[in-house]
Structure formats: C-alpha cells, structure tokens
Amino acid sequence: MPCGLFFETYEKDEAIFQTTFLRVAMAAFAVLLLAFPFFSDWLSGLTNLYWLGIMTHICIFVLGAQGLNLLTGFTGQISLGHGAFMAVGAFTAGVLHMDLGWNFLLAILAGGLMAAALGMIFGVPSLRLRGLYLAIATLAAQIIIIWLLRGVFEAGAVEVSDATLFGFSFDTDQRKYYLCLFFAALGTLYLKNLMRTRTGRAFVAVRDRYLSAEVIGVNLFKYRILSFGISSFMVGLAGGLWAFTENAVTDEAFGVALSVKYLAYIIVGGLGQVTGAIFGVTFLELLHWLLEVPTDALSRIFPNIFEKLASLREIVFGLIVIVFLIFEPDGLSARWRTIRSYWKLWPFSY
C-alpha cells in the first residue's frame, strides 16, 4: 500500500504527469472534452442553455486566465488591464484578417504580439510600483487603450469572417470549439512547462523574495517585463480567438468589468496554480449560466419583475463568490489537492 510519492530522479520529480493514474485520468478527461460536442445538444435540451457556446467561451477565458495567472499568481504583479490587452489582440487579428487578407493563424499571432508589446510598455512601472499602485497604473492602461480603440475604429466595432486554414474553414460552432480547445490546452501546457524552467523559477523568486532574488543575480526588471509580455501575449491570443468565434469585435466587450472578471477567475481558482485558472473559469462561468435557469423560469411566471430577477442573479452570483472566498481563500485548486491527497492515502489518511 503506497503511503506517498517518492521519486529517485529529478526528471521524475519535475514530470508534468507524475503517476500512471494521473496520465490515465488526464487522457480520459481529454477524451471527454473531445466528445463533448456530440452530447452537448442533449445537455442543452435538459437545461435550455447552449452548452457548446458556453464551453467555447470557457476555453477562450482559460487561455487568457493562464496569462494573468503567470503575471499575478507566479510573478506577483497585479494587473487590471488585461481586458484591454485582450481587446488589442481581437482588433489586431480582425483588421489584419479582413483588411489585409492575412491568414487567421498569422493574424491571431500578430494580435498576441501587439498585445505583448503594449503589455511590456505599460509594465515598465512595475520596476518601481507594486500592489495597489501597480493596479492603478494598469487600470490607466485599460482606460487609455479602450479610448484609443474607440477613436481609431468607427463605432468601436469590426466585423470578422470565419477562420480558414489551408482551405479548411472553422465555420461551425463545433469546429470553433475544437479550435479554442486546442489553444486552451496549448496555453496550459506551455505555462506548466514554463514554470519548470529557469525562467519560471525566476518568476517565483521575484514574487516571493524580490530583494533576495536580486541579490543572487535575478534581473528584476527583465523578468517583470518578460512576465508582462508573455501574459499579455496569451490574453491577446484569447482576444484573437474571440474575434474569430464571435465574428465581430466591439470595444464594449473588453471593459474594466472583464479585467476584474479575469482577476476573479484566478483568485477563486487559486493563485499560482496552473489548474487554478481552469477551475476558476469553469466554476464562475458555469455559476453565471446556471443561475440563468431559475431566473428565466421565474421571469416566465412573473414577467413584470424580469429586470429585478436579472439583478437578483448578479447579487446571488456575487454572494456565492464572497462566501466561497471566506471558506476557501486558497481557491478551488487547494480544495482539489486536499481531496486528491485524502484519496491517495486512503484508508490510512489522517
């Protein structure tokens, strides 16, 4: 009966999937995600929600949340501007694809690079500012970028056609889901692998003891700017995917509320944990949409109080998040590790 995990080599200790059980579980989870479109209609019939669209949005937000998790969770730099960086990725990809005829893959990569460049520029104050002061500086970036986008693009909107790659068009909701799932998985694996490298350990050192890190030779400015760049690149990619899945980009979709929402994702899911972004996005998005089911049912019974019920849904959503943070401040990933550790040593856990 195993009483824990003991590795004999450094490579095994740093492996992404450390046990056979974990590898099998992740393979089963991947199969479930790939098969999801085939039973999403049945699920939609039960709940009156369009689950394929919800899961597509979850994949996009997971990619963006992993970017913010790198910056805030692993490097300790707070940002309230990631909604604007996502807008930069979306508008850049949309314009390059529609006006210049760029391939969609090159367009979203260019959108990510543009977001990364702006993120690094607005990340320069991170050398002198921390905490709430840095949050205010990034909030200013959010306001400035959205204001510029409204000035550059008439009506603050761009129409985008379906993505096409080597003659294959992502013109159905099912194909768009697989496209977003691929990028979400790629971003998650990239972040997991990055944190095993010298660069990832430097990010954590900057977060935990930045003075000690500087004493042992870690270049604080370099790694803080680099974390802003990688983080903004990932959320810029998410913006490009948003443009090609929604077939339209409007500045209203990328306001301050979205930046706050991204922070809520990683705080509820668990800061500094790769699984935290996945748990946080899934939990909050499912909670948001599942609260719509009783709201719609009550609005059909009491049609005159529909607006009040809609506000009540937002209130209940906020209260659930507050109660959750009180009882589980370390996030869902910490709860998941507790459950996993209990069953790993069962029946001799204590």
Question: Per-residue pLDDT tens for 185-220?
Answer: 999 999 999 998 999 999 999 888 888 888 888 888
- Confidence bin at 89 (pLDDT 50/70/90): very high
SS3 string of the chain?
A: CCCCCCCCCHHHHCCCCCCHHHHHHHHHHHHHHHHHHHHHHHHHHHHCCCHHHHHHHHHHHHHHHHHHHHHHHHCCCCCCCHHHHHHHHHHHHHHHHHCCCCCHHHHHHHHHHHHHHHHHHHCHHHHCCCHHHHHHHHHHHHHHHHHHHHHHCHHHEEECCCEEECCEEECCHHHHHHHHHHHHHHHHHHHHHHCCCHHHHHHHHHHHCHHHHHHCCCCHHHHHHHHHHHHHHHHHHHHHHHHHHHCEEEHHHHCHHHHHHHHHHHHHHCCCCHHHHHHHHHHHHHHHHHCHHHHHHHHHHCHHHHHHHHHHHHHHHHHHHHHHHHHCCCCHHHHHHHHHHHHHCCCCCC
- Confidence bin at 41 (pLDDT 50/70/90): confident
Range with lowest mean pLDDT among 43-47, 174-178, 283-287: 43-47
Domains and CATH numbers, the chain: 51-345 (1.10.3470)
Is the pLDDT at 350 greater than 60? The verdict is no
- 137-146 average pLDDT score: 87
Each residue's pLDDT tens digit, 283-327: 888 888 887 777 777 766 766 665 666 666 677 777 777 887 788
- Confidence bin at 17 (pLDDT 50/70/90): confident
- Confidence bin at 165 (pLDDT 50/70/90): confident
User: Token pair for residue 51?
Assistant: 């689950």
- 110-135 average pLDDT score: 84
* Side chain identity at residue 31, one-letter code: V
- Confidence bin at 102 (pLDDT 50/70/90): confident
User: Token pair for residue 125?
Assistant: 């104050």
Give percent of the chain above pLDDT 70. Answer: 91
* pLDDT, position 107: 92
Rounded-to-integer distance, Cα 84 and Cα 225, Å: 17
Those residues with Cβ within 8 angstroms of residue 186's Cβ, 6 or more apart along the chain or in another chain: none
Rounded-to-integer distance, Cα 267 and Cα 260, Å: 11
* pLDDT, position 199: 92
User: Token pair for residue 47?
Assistant: 């709940």
* pLDDT, position 237: 94
* pLDDT, position 317: 72
Q: What is the CA radius of gyration of the chain?
A: 21
Nearest to 181 by CA among 82, 103, 72, 278: 278
* pLDDT, position 156: 67
* pLDDT, position 155: 67
* pLDDT, position 343: 74
pTM of this prediction? 0.88
Compute φ and ψ for 51, nearest 5 degrees. Answer: -70, -30
* pLDDT, position 332: 85
In sequence order, the β-bridge partners of residue 248 are 159
Contact 213, 202 (CB under 8 A): yes
Nearest to 68 by CA among 191, 223, 198, 250: 191
* pLDDT, position 16: 76
